[in-house]
Amino acid sequence: MSTLRQITLDHWEFKEATVKTWKKATVPGCVHTDLLAHNLIPDPFVGKNELDVQWIDKKDWEYISSFTLTDVDMQEEKLELVFEGLDTYADIYVNNEKVLSTNNMFRIWKLDIKRYAKVGQNSLHVYFHSPIAHDLDKPDELGYNLPADNDHSLDGGVGEKKLSVFARKAPYHYGWDWGPRFVTSGIWRDVYIQAWSQVQIKDVHIEQSNVTQEQADLTAIVEVEATEPLEVTISISDANGVYHEKKIQIDEGNQSIALPFSISQPKLWWSNGLGESYRYHFSIDVLHNGDVLSNHKVKTGLRSLRFVREEDENGEGESFYFELNGVPVFMKGANHIPNDSFLTRITIEDYEHEIATAAASHMNMLRVWGGGIYEPNVFYELCDEYGILVWQDFMFACSMYPGDEAFLDNVKQEAIDNVKRLRNYACIALWCGNNEMDAAWAEYIEDAGWGWKQRYTKEQRKDIWQAYDQLFHHILPDVIREYDPQTAYWPSSPMQAVTSDKNQHATFDTLTKGDIHYWDVWHGQKPLDAYKENVGRFMSEYGFQSFPEEKTVRAYAEEEDFQLESDVMLHHQKNGSGNRLIKTYMDMYYKEPKDFSAFLHISHILQAAAIRSAVEAHRKHMPYCMGTLYWQMNDCWPVASWSSMDYYGRWKALQYEMKDRFKPTVLLLDQQKDKVGCAVASDVQHDQLATMTIQLRAFDGEIVLDERVMTTIPKNTTTTIHELDLESKRDLFFNHVLVAKLEIDGVIADEVVYLLVEPKQLQLPKPTITIDRKEDYLEISADQFAMNVWLETDQEGYFSANNFHLVPGEKKHIYFTDSLIQNVNYERRQLPTQLKIQSMYNFI
């Protein structure tokens, strides 16, 4: 039998270092959540309380616990103390002896404490140094501030000093343009002691060298540690009859053993929408004389995944897409940030709700953005389960970082720890060095970038770029090559290519290579139509803000705060011009909201319309464009932001819009003056016979024009199928809409109600909306055109559709569920007990 025993540590206490009284603590946790649990600080998310708790990060904090060891425990050869996450600068004491100092939130810290331990009760003491005090002198020592524009140093009471870049700690803890500044300290992941003797499996990598439908050629690379030389058998097996073994003489210390094996006709792992996300459950054993000395389990999906960048036939550009099991896949999804400012409050259910939301919205990729954290294993397990691929950034974003040897060595070990931890997940599609740093600095184009270079002397610029180049073009790719060679590496997002000249940087006038972050709509205040004119090969970031829904706003604001420029509304808007931009764009496209509550809701409608415009433009250009990841999926606190679901997991109109526009087959209508082009985007892997009907309908339902097109929709591409000429109907645009339906195999695959003028130009009638409650769904109809119909209930839950247009003569069937977890297709349905239904007419 395996000799590994795990000893947990319970009954933690904490205190501020200069006081004497200890209080109960929760581990995993952090100082802020422990203080909040004892009512020693106000809720940091309410009002402007964020500013009242900035003192916490200036203090040192202590945590203590104890553990009991038996004679049997002490007879083991190894007693390893394991911290899966310490945030961040900590000294560790066992029985009052200092055994370890830590300086990286993202690393796993392990050490053998047997020489410090004893039979009976043992003490463990963790002393956290203030991250602010620890790093406060570093800008002065360096001689200048490194760029870190999102570091809210003024809110933190440290003036202009940008300290976030010196700490290997979640960058967003120091503030962002959607997030508050809470610089935490604490034991943020599990801590335990492992007792073992002879040999232990430390890690297993299932390397997938060649995977096809016929055969998977695999290698289990087994890393073991032994306390003495030993002849062992290493085996790998699963419940489906896989069994391979290897006899080997292992030496004292650490070593890796390669165990090649093959599986005939494997069941492949597919992303959401393309097939089953099947996973194999492998068990790896080290045996000696028939006894299992160590066991390790790996759950992974078998797949071939290529990151394809090939020159176009005309030589004018280069592809940028992912090929899964031989199939080029258009990536549909969003950017993910941490789900809370206080990470240990995030539950497994929170993670599953987010991933289930992505799956229910027909997404197949999330980008884990580089200003947050390497997420816990459960996040990637859920992505594997639901078929959501992951673009994984390393934790660097929108800043430049130090280049001293100690910092770079620390980052290298951080990268090794996390690559080894995550590489077996089938969902990992790409490792990316950083977010926006190449484009922001723009080393090879003097007048490009964010104006950072110009702040520094020639020598300083050389040092800063050398540190960048060393980290992102040498250290991190070398780690990937050594520890996860099958997965591609991309140094920075966005960029064109690795050329070490001006052709490296992503610029707004170059859309033929690399990936694009397009922000001229929003930051650049360009109209929404600009999305159509700026489509690159892979749109990895773009976004548009809204407020959260009124229920969420009331979680942090009082009635007197319900004004756009109130102190609380401005405090819960971290993008300096955000509220003004929402108002500016709303004035461009919509009529004046009747009150502030209506303003909140129309901001949802505006956001949904903006991102819909972008997504449709990107899908229309398939296969030239092969990915669209909007900014952002989620929030870390209740705030006005670019998210499609708010901090509480409530879907905004945008999330419903993406559920509709990310369907496998969609109609794309695009108006150019009096002509409307009709295209179909298909992710389906076979051709489809389809019929499209398109009608011009009056607001009372009268059909003015009716055309029908039979077509074949080619697989895995976008095809133009029809053009509608409305020149003679121009005077009807203000009180008519187009209704287009795509029918495949007798089923309506997509339906679009299309406005021919801007929403504020429409002459909207007052609709009467009827709700007919069926056994497990709602049937909704209207006597006049109802624009942006919105369903609300006092229950937490999710409709199958929302924010839709309704035309007389049409009936909409709507399902409702209280949870999407393991229920992305709404198999578990219920009728909401109370229901409120409104349309645009009610908000203006």
Residues 448-502 pLDDT 10s:
999 999 999 999 999 999 999 999 999 999 999 999 999 999 999 999 999 999 9
What is the DSSP track for 298-339? EEE----EEEE--B-TTSS-B--EEEETTEEE-EEEEEE--S
Q: State the Cα–Cα distance between residues 217 and 263, nearest whole angstrom.
A: 7
3-state secondary structure of 832: coil
3-state secondary structure of 770: strand
Pick the CATH number of 198-300 from 2.60.40.10, 3.30.1490.20, 3.30.70.580, 3.90.1070.10: 2.60.40.10
pLDDT by residue (tens digit) across 541-554?
Answer: 999 999 999 999 99
Q: What is the mean pLDDT of residues 321-326?
A: 98
Q: What mean pLDDT is predicted for residues 338-343?
A: 98
Distance, in Å, from the CA atom of 787 to the CA atom of 841, rounded to the nearest integer, reads: 7
Q: What is the Cα–Cα distance from 237 to 246, expressed in whole angstroms?
A: 12
Mean pLDDT of 17-25: 97
Whether the predicted pLDDT of 264 surpasses 60 = yes
Beta bridge partners of 764: none
Question: Per residue in 642-685, pLDDT tens?
Answer: 999 999 999 999 999 999 999 999 999 999 989 999 999 999 99
Bond into 623 cis (ω within 30): yes
* CATH numeric code, 764-844: 2.60.40.10
User: If you average pLDDT over residues 178-203, what whole number do you get?
Assistant: 97
The pLDDT of residue 131 is: 98
Do 151 and 174 meet the contact criterion of CB atoms below 8 Å apart? yes
Q: What is the CATH number of domain 5-193?
A: 2.60.120.260
Please state, as a whole number, how many other Cβ atoms lie within 10 Å of the Cβ of residue 379: 26
- Nearest Cα neighbor of 258 from 240, 236, 239 is 236
pLDDT of res. 240: 87
* Residues carrying CATH 2.60.40.10, the chain: 198-300, 663-760, 764-844
Amino acid present at 645: M
Compute the mean pLDDT over every residue in the chain, rounded to the nearest whole number: 96
Do the beta carbons of residue 169 and residue 626 sit within 8 Å?
Answer: no
pTM, to two decimals:
0.97
Output the DSSP codes for 441-481.
H-TT-TT-SSS-GGGS-HHHHHHHHHHHHHIIIIIHHHHHH
Specify the CATH number of the domain 313-321+330-653: 3.20.20.80
424, 386 Cβ separation under 8 angstroms: no
- Region 663-760: CATH code: 2.60.40.10
Q: How far is CA 844 from the centre of its chain?
A: 35
pLDDT on residue 3? 75
CA 308, CA 328: separation in Å to the nearest integer? 9
Does the bond joining 171 to the residue before it have cis omega, within 30 degrees of 0? no
Token pair belonging to 693 = 């009907």
Residue indicated by tokens 């520890």: 483
Confidence of residue 2 (pLDDT cuts 50, 70, 90): low
Looking at residue 484, its pLDDT comes to 98
Task: Yes or no: say if 8 and 84 are a contact pair by the CB < 8 Å rule.
Answer: no
Phi, psi at residue 64, to the nearest 5°?
-130, 150
Choice among 311-315, 483-487, 616-620, 751-755 with the minimum mean pLDDT:
311-315
Instruction: Give the mean model confidence (pLDDT) for residues 686-715.
Output: 96
By the 10 Å C-beta count (0-12 exposed, 13-18 middle, 19+ buried), 326 is classed as exposed
Q: Tell me: pLDDT of 752 over 80.
A: yes
Compute the distance between CA of residue 804 and CA of residue 634 in angstroms, rounded to an integer: 22
Percentage of residues of the chain with pLDDT beyond 70:
100
Residue pointed to by tokens 């073009």: 473
DSSP per-residue codes, 370-386: TTS----HHHHHHHHHH
pLDDT computed for residue 722 by the predictor: 96
SS (H, E, C) 470-499: HHHHHHHHHHHHHHCCCCEEECCECECCCC
Distance (Å) of CA 545 to CA 76, 241, 370, 412, 631:
57, 52, 20, 36, 9
Q: What is the pLDDT of residues 155-169, one digit of tens each?
A: 999 999 999 999 999
SS3 content of the chain, % helix, strand, coil (to 5): 25, 35, 40
Q: Is the pLDDT score of 602 beyond 60?
A: yes
Residue 507: pLDDT over 90: no
3-state SS, 254-296, equals EEEEEEEEEEECCCCECCCCCCCECCEEEEEEEEECCEEEEEE
Q: Which of 306, 309, 277, 282 is nearest to 295 (CA)?
A: 282
In this prediction, residue 47 carries a pLDDT of 97
How confident is the model at residue 314, as a pLDDT? 85
Q: Quick one: which H or E segment has residue 569?
A: helix 567-571
The C-alpha atoms of residue 87 and residue 189 are separated, in whole angstroms, by 9
Position 564 scores a pLDDT of 94
Q: What's the burial of 264, exposed, middle or buried (CB within 10 Å: 0-12/13-18/19+)?
A: exposed
Token pair recorded at residue 17: 């270092």
SS (H, E, C) 12-30: CEEEECCCCCCEECCCCCC
pLDDT at residue 519 tops 70 = yes
On the question of pLDDT at 315 being above 90, the answer is no
Q: Give the model's pLDDT for residue 510.
A: 81
- Which tokens in the block code for residue 111? 């050490």
Residue pair 830/798 in contact (Cβ under 8 Å)? The answer is no
Distance between CA atoms of residues 744 and 553, nearest Å: 42
Strands (E), 583-735: 627-630, 665-672, 675-682, 688-698, 703-713, 717-725
| Cβ neighbours around 98 below 10 Å, total | 12
Whether 1 has a pLDDT exceeding 60, the answer reads: no
Cα dihedral across residues 494, 499, 502, 508: positive or negative: negative
Whose CA is closest to 201, among 259, 279, 255?
Answer: 255
| The two structure tokens encoding residue 129 | 């140094």
Q: What is the pLDDT of residues 798-823, one digit of tens each?
A: 999 999 999 999 999 999 999 999 99
Distances (CA, A) of 291 to 2, 196, 197, 255: 8, 15, 13, 21
Average pLDDT of 301-310? 98
Give the ranges where 62-147 is alpha helix by DSSP (H).
71-75, 131-135, 138-142
Nearest residue to 364 (alpha-carbon basis) of 629, 684, 643, 614? 629
- 135 pLDDT above the threshold of 70: yes
CB-based contact 779:817 (threshold 8 Å)? no
Cα gap 357→42, rounded to integer Å: 31
DSSP summary character for residue 168: B
Helix (H, G, I), strand (E, B) or coil at 242: coil
Please answer whether residues 397 and 435 qualify as being in contact, where contact means their C-beta atoms are separated by less than 8 angstroms: yes
Q: How many Cα atoms within 13 Å fall on the side-chain side of residue 339? A: 19
| Token duo for residue 805 | 């247009």
**Measured CA distances, 681 to 77, 320, 530, 716 (Å):** 62, 18, 20, 8
Q: CB 263: neighbour CB atoms within 10 A?
A: 18
In tens, the pLDDT along 787-801 reads: 999 999 999 999 999
Q: Is 342 left (phi over 0), alpha (psi -120 to 50) or beta?
A: beta
Question: Residue 800 corresponds to which tokens in the numbers above?
Answer: 């199958």
Mean pLDDT of 75-84: 97
Is the CB of residue 106 less than 8 Å from the CB of residue 96?
Answer: no
